[in-house]
Amino acid sequence: MFQGITGVHLLIVLAVILLLFGATKLPALAKSVGQSARVFKNEMKEMKRDDEVDAGNTDATRATEVGTATAAAPEQRKPNDTSV
C-alpha cells in the first residue's frame, strides 16, 4: 500500500500539514495525539486486567458450582427398594 512512498513524498506531506495547521498549532496537535495514545494504552491495560480478574472469578465460580452440585445431588434409589 505504501511501498512507493519515499522521503520526498513524506516531506511534501509534512509541508502540506504545516501549511494547513500552521506552526503554532502543530505542538498542540502532537500533544493531544500523544495524550490520546496514552489514554488508549491505559484503557487497554485495564481491560486486559479486568478480563484476567473475570476469568479467575469464573473459574472459582465453576469450581464452587460443581462442588455444590455433587454435594446436593439426591441419593438415587433402586425401583425395587422398599426400605424407606
* All cell numbers assigned to 53: 480478574
For residues 29 and 41, what is the distance between their CA atoms, to the nearest angstrom? 18
Q: What is the mean pLDDT of residues 79-84?
A: 61
pLDDT tens-digit readout, 8-67: 998 999 899 888 888 888 888 889 999 999 999 999 999 999 988 888 777 666 666 655
**Domains in the chain: boundaries:** 20-52
CA-CA distance, 52 to 72, in Å (whole number)?
A: 30
Which pLDDT band holds residue 1 (cuts at 50, 70, 90)? low
Residue appearing with cell numbers 464452587: 64
The model carries a pTM of 0.45
Tell me the C-alpha distance between 25 and 17, whole Å.
10
- Which H helix or E strand runs over 53? helix 26-71
